[in-house]
Structures are given as structure tokens and as C-alpha cells.
Amino acid sequence: MRWVPGGVTAPKGFVAAGVAAGIKRSRKPDLALVAADRPAAAAAVFTTNRVQAAPVLISRARARRGRAQAVLINSGCANCLTGPAGMRDALRVSRAAAEALRIKESHVLVASTGLIGTRLPVAKIERALPKLARQLSRRRHEAAAQAILTTDLHPKEAAVEARINGRFVRVGGMAKGSGMIAPSMATMLCVLTTDAAAPARWLGGLLREAAEETFNRISVDHDMSTNDTVFALAGGGSGAAIRPGTAGARRFARMVTAVAGRLAERLVRDGEGATKRMTVEVCGGRTAREAQACARQAAGSPLVKTMLAGSDANVGRLAAAAGASGARFDPARLEIHVEGVRLVAGGAALPVPAAALRRLLRRPHVRVRIHLHAGRASARMLTCDLTEEYVRINAGYAT
Amino acid sequence: MRWVPGGVTAPKGFVAAGVAAGIKRSRKPDLALVAADRPAAAAAVFTTNRVQAAPVLISRARARRGRAQAVLINSGCANCLTGPAGMRDALRVSRAAAEALRIKESHVLVASTGLIGTRLPVAKIERALPKLARQLSRRRHEAAAQAILTTDLHPKEAAVEARINGRFVRVGGMAKGSGMIAPSMATMLCVLTTDAAAPARWLGGLLREAAEETFNRISVDHDMSTNDTVFALAGGGSGAAIRPGTAGARRFARMVTAVAGRLAERLVRDGEGATKRMTVEVCGGRTAREAQACARQAAGSPLVKTMLAGSDANVGRLAAAAGASGARFDPARLEIHVEGVRLVAGGAALPVPAAALRRLLRRPHVRVRIHLHAGRASARMLTCDLTEEYVRINAGYAT
């Protein structure tokens, strides 16, 4: 398996484009289209929030049928809390996309991201769609990746290639998201494409597993969005058909997880206001669920995240987060390492020079290991620091 | 019932003092003592964090016996993650307090707050104790309330008086805490005193109920401390004995809850970096637990709290928090009011002028009501805004 350029259009048979349709007041790109040259097997994972945006409701019903040929995504408006009118709006733009592409409307998946509670500017999107469709090309993957961004600073793309059944197969993807990213959910928006052929139902299972190992292992803040969506489209353009249960299927699954993992990492790297990252690894948990709860509590703690921002070695906050997580362990056996240096052993903080600690915490990616000494389960989370910039961004988002 | 001045020494039979023992590098007051003129009925509520500070372990065992005569509290050092040495340290300072006061060591309750992972400077505390004991007086309640503060800006005291069984009974209290304050726990440090006589076991039940309704209904950040403690001492100096199950007992319970409630409100008002408060009221929940979960999710959401900081009306964040809380409701019936103005009805955001919204959110105490329309249960939480100052405080706490 090797990394290749190209994002969502790295796999054969996919084209993409992104334009400024005028949804964002900033006039930045805000409408992206990804299309396949034929109906593809489709699967999706959505937010578990009880309040769900109109496009989530529509795409959920369509993805369930297992076929799709295009994904239309707008930024600048979440089309959520918009009631029946929001449903009509989402259906109108999906119809316009189907007409521009001359494909079945039920094969159009839609997603929206941006401010909650405002109506989708349907007329602007309808006006932009013919041009967007004309621009579709294998080269325009980055324009699409740009157009789905909100407060993100950088587009997020990844693609890999590997040989399966004698054919070169590719998996590509793009994602957006930098705030409102929490564990226990899908993620923000992500489109994965592949030129392998795969049964839609199997692809869905694989997608859920990949999301669980990647997007569900990151945390920027503790919030959960109403619009999170991960789509996967398998077009089959490579000529390779994945048969579940084979070595090729396992390799393909690793490719999907690799692309999702790299995109997840980039989501954290581009977290709102983030200046650095932290990997929290918990080992010695009694159960996988407890190890995971502990890693999540530490990775989500505002006090741990501000400590990281300030390179301020306050190992007690890691211990307090572990203790608050619900994981069962003997505090007298707790052990904590930061960047390989043991700071807590036998439940007591060790004397480590503050200057040395500060140097460790100044690293751009800080690795923390919490050993609970209560069992054999382990878990890992990736998070970023909580900075004044995060507050600045989110204190003035709507205006 | 009327509010009276005096904090922990408002009830007859209690004295207090606070001094700078040199635990804090700032030379600010950091050692507080509250003492009763006789052994009092005692009860306590502690953090549910699995990692617990040495003084928590000691005070839990002592409070269980139901008698205490003094509370020694230091700030500047949490005496947590300090292993067996930390236990010895806590025992040494409690012994020194007992000697200075000439009371039984088992009647001394101890609590610590401050940086986790550093050893208690026992010699400094031992040196300060004789002076602290000499200063004990009914007038020095505020010095004690000052000495228990960490990042708090203001001391927090409250006291009430009411007539029970023909006698004037008082309940007083002091508290500290401004960060690491989360629901699902006791609180930070709090000492409640009363000159009523009450059975210790009954007092404990009443204290847990009062904490549940007050300290467990506030949120500054999502973290849980290793040192949280609420003590209650009933000395009996008023001559009134509370008999469980009587009208007097109910009046007494209301007094305890009133004092705890006012202290809880002051904790939020003095939240780290806080500039304003928000009450989140959830009604129409299917169950009390779900209404509570919804209120907690909204009150704890960084996006809701930054919205409050920026007076940035982004009602979608309240809806997203409600939807993420696990409470069951039909999103199409969701209703949200801010300061009495309906912003969401029938699951859709209503058109309200942004300038008007901003004016509502600029108020120092913003009231939000989320109506789930799913049942009859309700819940309430009090929280503060999340500001850049919170990050500044916590990014450099240890150094």
C-alpha cells in the first residue's frame, strides 16, 4: 500500500469540482460536487445526534438503498433546525444536481455544513450547479476539498493505492471539520471513493469499523454535530471486485482505514485554534470500554487541553481525568508517562525538573501514556490543545 | 428564613481564622481553620473521582464516625498523587491541629486544594498552626473563606437564620472553587456549620440531597476534581434539636439547601474567566434523568459557553447539545427560548433579528429554556461562559 496524490479523484472513474456559489458571505468556495462515471455501491455513517439536518435525513434514506452516483456538499449553511422547509430545500438542490449531471435524483447524496438554523439559499445553489457540473474533472479534487471547509484552515485529502487480485486499486477521500468534533459519533463530513467494486452492505460494515477506529478516536471539543456524515462510494473502475472474507478484502479494509485515519489526524491537526496535538494511550484497562472511556476523558478534558496549550506540566490533571472516567483501577498503581518520561508511578508524582517537563510538552505532538495496571485492555485517542484562539473563533461564529 | 452576615461563624459556637502559612508562593492566605466549642455531629460528601487526595481518604473515615470539632483546610497544594507519604503528611497536620486546639485528633477533618502532585509543606503548616489557633474568633470567618481560595477572585460565604422549635437556628457556610467544577460530583470545598443539634446520619442524608440540588447543578468546565469535599457540622449551640420527620426538620433542610444554593451560585459567578452566567432549564423531558442529561449537555457544551461569551446568538448549538444528550424527544417538536423569546419552535429556528438576539445574550445572566415536548420532567443547570481568560488561567496554572 502506498500513498498517492489525488484525494477523492485518485480512484478511477471519479471527478470532482468546487465553486463559490455565494452561500458564504466571504465569497469563498462553498459548493462541492463529487461524481462517479456510473452508479456506485454506496454506504454512509451519520451523526447519532437526535437533532439531524435535513440532508442527513435524505442521504440516510438514499444510502440505505446502496447505490449512489454523486455527492453534493455545501458549506456556509447546515440546513438544520429548518423544519419541513429545510427538507424541501435539500430535495430541490439534490434534484438540481441530478438534472445538471443527468443522473437519477435518488443517486444524489447531499450534505451541508455551517451555521445551524438558517435556510439553504436554494436559488444560489441552483444557479451554480450547471457551472459546477461543467467543471467536474479528475484534477479538481482540491477545489472540492476546499469548498467543504468552514473554519478549517486547510483542505484535507488522502489517497492510497494497493494491488488486489492483480489490479491496482485506489481509495481516496476528503474531509472537513475542525470544531464540534467529539468522540462517540461519526465525524464531520467525509467522502471516501474507491475504484474497487464491493457489495454496498459489506462496504457499510467496513465503513462503520473504519470510522470507529479513526474518526471516533479524535476529539477537538466535547460537542456533537447535527450534520456529521461519512460517505463511501465504490465505483469498480479498477476492474477489481472485492469478495468479503478474502485476503483482498482485508487489504482493502486496511486501505479504507488508512485513508480515514490520515483524514482524522488532519482534522485534529486543523482543530479550531489548535497549535499542537496529543495522543493519549491508555493501557492496562480492565476492559476495552473502560480503557476507551479513560482515553476519552483525558483527551476531552479542558484542563488537560489547556495544559497542553501552555506546555504547563500539570500531570495531576491527567490523573484526575483518569479517575473521573469511570474506569476501575487502583489509584495506588497508576502510572503516567509523558513523551516516554515516567511522571507518576505507584500512584504518586515523581520529582521531575519542571524545565525538562516543559521541554517535553513544547513538542508539536505530545504522547501521553496512562497505565491503569488493572487488566490488559488498551485504547488510544488523538486530541489537540485548547487555546484562546478556539474561544475567539467560537465566540463570534454566527456573526 | 432570613439571610444573615457571618459565614461559617454565623451559627453560635463556631470560630474561624485564616493565615498565610507560606504554602502558596504568592504569600496569600492559604490555611484556614474552623472550630466548634464542643464535638459536633458531622457529615460529609466527597468527590466520586477514583483518584482521591490523601485528606479525602482521612476525612472520609473520620466523618463516617459522625463526630468532629474542627476543619483544617489548606490551599496551594492538593496533597493528591502523593502516595503513602501524602497520607503521612495529612495525618501530621491533622495531629498538629488537634494539639493546637487541644481536641481529639479523630475530631479533626482535613481538606486540601491546589496543585496536584506536590507534597504538602508540613513544617510550614505546623509552624503556622499555633498562631492560627490563637486567632480563632467569630469575627474571622472571612479570613477563613479567603484562605481556602485558589484561582477564585472572591470569598464565598452565606448564612441564614430561622426559628425552629422556638429557638433561632442558623446555618452558615463558606466554599471555594472556580475551575474543575463539573456536575455528577460533590463540588469543590465547602464547610457548612449550624448551631442546631441533629443526628449525624440524618445530617449526612440531608447534605447529600442538598448537594445534589445545588453543587451538582452547576458547571464551569467538564472536569472533576480529586479533592472535592463538603463538610457539615451541627454543634447544637442554639439549643434547638432537629427531630427528623418534623416540620422543623423540613425547615432546617430548606436552610441547608438555601446556603448551599447561594454558595453554588457564587461558585459559578466566580468561575474561571467567567463574565456572565446562564441558567439552562429543560422541561418536557420523558424522565427526570433525561431532562437532567439535556440540561447538563447544554450547560457543559464549549460551543454553548463560547456563544455566551461572545453574546453570539447561535441557537443551533443549544439544539445540537439537546440532541447529543441522549434525551429522547421528537426534534420536530423542539422549542427553545432565550430570555423569554422563542427562537426555535416545531424544530425550526424562527426569524428573530440578530441585533435583538445579541441584546438578549449581552445580559449578565441569560436564561435559556429548552422544551423537549416529550413528557413532564424538568431540570435546571447553572453555568458560566467560556472565555479566553479561562484558557489563559489554565494554560499556566502549574508554573
List of domains in chain A: 2-269 (3.60.70.12), 277-395 (3.10.20.340)
Contacts of A301 in chain B (CB under 8 A): 222-223
At residue B187, the pLDDT reads 42
Rounded to the nearest angstrom, the minimum Cα separation between A35 and chain B is 30
Of A62, A71, A98, nearest in space to A200 by CA: A62
Interface mutation target, options A49, A51, A77, A89, chain B, most CBs of B under 10 Å: A51
* Nearest residue, CB atoms, B49 vs list A222, A315, A320: A320
Which residue from B minimizes the CA distance to A311? B395
Contacts of B116 in chain A (CB under 8 A): 314-317, 319-320, 349
* Nearest residue, CB atoms, A51 vs list B81, B226, B323: B323
CB contact under 8 A, B223 and A349: no
Tell whether the model's pLDDT for residue B223 goes beyond 70.
no
Active-site annotation holder among A150, A151, A187, A279: A187
Which residue from A minimizes the CA distance to B117? A349
Rounded to the nearest angstrom, the minimum Cα separation between A190 and chain B is 19
Contacts of B224 in chain A (CB under 8 A): 320, 323-324
C-alpha span between B243 and B245 (Å, rounded): 6
At residue B122, the pLDDT reads 98
CB contact under 8 A, A332 and B222: no
C-alpha span between B235 and A387 (Å, rounded): 47
SS3 label, residue A169:
strand
* Nearest residue, CB atoms, A334 vs list B51, B321, B358: B51
At residue A186, the pLDDT reads 33
Confidence of residue B267 (pLDDT cuts 50, 70, 90): confident
CB contact under 8 A, A331 and B390: no
Q: For chain B, what percent of residues have pLDDT higher than 90?
A: 66
Contacts of A334 in chain B (CB under 8 A): 51, 81
Contacts of B334 in chain A (CB under 8 A): 51, 81
Rounded to the nearest angstrom, the minimum Cα separation between A173 and chain B is 26
At residue A187, the pLDDT reads 42
* Nearest residue, CB atoms, A319 vs list B116, B327, B347: B116
C-alpha span between A325 and B224 (Å, rounded): 9
Confidence of residue A112 (pLDDT cuts 50, 70, 90): very high
C-alpha span between A324 and B52 (Å, rounded): 10
At residue A220, the pLDDT reads 57
* Nearest residue, CB atoms, A49 vs list B225, B323, B387: B323
Three cell numbers, residue A51: 437533532
Contacts of A398 in chain B (CB under 8 A): 307, 312-314, 354
A313 close to B (CB below 8 A): yes
At residue B104, the pLDDT reads 97
Confidence of residue B224 (pLDDT cuts 50, 70, 90): low
C-alpha span between B174 and B14 (Å, rounded): 13
Confidence of residue A184 (pLDDT cuts 50, 70, 90): very low
Tell whether the model's pLDDT for residue A54 goes beyond 90.
yes
Q: How many CB atoms lie within 10 A of CB A103?
A: 18
Tell whether the model's pLDDT for residue A320 goes beyond 90.
no
Which residue from A minimizes the CA distance to B317? A116
Higher pLDDT, A357 or A108: A108
Query: What is the average pLDDT across A9-32?
Result: 96
CB contact under 8 A, A387 and B391: yes
At residue A41, the pLDDT reads 96
* Nearest residue, CB atoms, B51 vs list A226, A303, A319: A319
The CA dihedral of A114, A118, A122, A128, to the nearest 10 degrees, is -30
CB contact under 8 A, B306 and A394: yes
CB contact under 8 A, A319 and B117: yes
Contacts of A348 in chain B (CB under 8 A): 81-86
Contacts of B362 in chain A (CB under 8 A): none
Query: What is the average pLDDT across A88-104?
Result: 98
At residue A156, the pLDDT reads 93
* Nearest residue, CB atoms, A323 vs list B50, B309, B349: B50
Contacts of A332 in chain B (CB under 8 A): 83
B221 close to A (CB below 8 A): yes
Annotate A367-380 with b (16+ C-beta within 10 A) or e (fewer): bbbbbbebbebbbb
* Nearest residue, CB atoms, A349 vs list B82, B316, B320: B82
Task: Supply φ then ψ for residue B65, to 5 degrees.
Answer: -75, -10
A289 Cβ neighbours under 8 A, 6+ residues apart: none
Alpha helices in chain A (DSSP H): 54-64, 83-101, 122-135, 141-147, 200-213, 247-269, 288-300, 302-309, 315-324, 354-361, 388-395
Give me the sign of the Cα torsion angle A172, A177, A183, A184.
negative
Tell whether the model's pLDDT for residue A211 goes beyond 80.
yes
A351 close to B (CB below 8 A): no
A302 close to B (CB below 8 A): yes
- Mean residue pLDDT of chain A comes to 90
Contacts of B225 in chain A (CB under 8 A): 320
C-alpha span between B255 and B203 (Å, rounded): 12
Which residue from A minimizes the CA distance to B397? A312
CB contact under 8 A, B315 and A348: no
At residue B397, the pLDDT reads 59
Whole-Å CA distances, B390 to A99, A262, A330, B64: 51, 32, 32, 37
Q: Among A151-155, B105-109, B291-295, B340-344, where is mean pLDDT lowest? A: A151-155
For residue range A330-375, list pLDDT tens digits in order.
999 999 999 999 999 998 989 888 888 889 999 999 999 999 999 9
At residue A343, the pLDDT reads 93
Q: Which of residues 224-253 of A touch B (CB under 8 A)?
A: 224-226
Query: What is the average pLDDT across A256-263?
Result: 94
Query: What is the average pLDDT across A108-130?
Result: 94
Annotate A133-168 with b (16+ C-beta within 10 A) or e (fewer): bebbeeebbbbbbbbbbbbbeebbbbbbbbebbeee
Tell whether the model's pLDDT for residue A392 goes beyond 90.
no
Q: For chain A, what percent of residues have pLDDT higher than 90?
A: 66
B79 Cβ neighbours under 8 A, 6+ residues apart: B53, B54, B55, B86, B89, B90, B112, B119, B120
Are A78 and A226 spatial neighbours (Cβ–Cβ below 8 Å)?
yes
B196 Cβ neighbours under 8 A, 6+ residues apart: B11, B164, B169, B171, B234, B236, B238, B240, B241, B242, B252
Q: Among A197-211, A312-326, A374-388, B21-35, where is mean pLDDT lowest? A: A312-326
At residue A182, the pLDDT reads 46
At residue B184, the pLDDT reads 37
End-to-end CA distance of chain A: 45
Tell whether the model's pLDDT for residue A379 goes beyond 70.
yes
B246 is a catalytic site residue = no
Query: What is the average pLDDT across A269-282?
Result: 88
Query: What is the average pLDDT across A187-206?
Result: 91
Interface mutation target, options A306, A384, A386, chain B, most CBs of B under 10 Å: A306
The single-letter DSSP state of residue B216 is G
At residue A222, the pLDDT reads 53
For residue range B140-172, list pLDDT tens digits in order.
999 999 999 987 889 999 999 999 999 999 999
At residue B72, the pLDDT reads 98
CB contact under 8 A, A399 and B358: yes
Which residue from A minimizes the CA distance to B179? A303
Whole-Å CA distances, A261 to A173, A273, B160, B274: 11, 21, 58, 37
Secondary structure element (H or E) that encloses residue B158, with its range: strand B156-164
Confidence of residue B178 (pLDDT cuts 50, 70, 90): low
Rounded to the nearest angstrom, the minimum Cα separation between A10 and chain B is 34
Interface mutation target, options B222, B373, B383, chain A, most CBs of A under 10 Å: B222
Interface mutation target, options B118, B301, B306, chain A, most CBs of A under 10 Å: B306
For residue range A156-170, list pLDDT tens digits in order.
999 999 999 999 999
Q: How many CB atoms lie within 10 A of CB A41?
A: 24
At residue A233, the pLDDT reads 96
For residue range B36-92, list pLDDT tens digits in order.
999 999 999 888 888 889 999 999 999 999 999 999 999 999 998 899 999 999 999
Confidence of residue B125 (pLDDT cuts 50, 70, 90): very high
Rounded to the nearest angstrom, the minimum Cα separation between B264 and chain A is 21
* Nearest residue, CB atoms, B223 vs list A302, A312, A328: A302
- Mean residue pLDDT of chain B comes to 90
Query: What is the average pLDDT across B203-210?
Result: 94
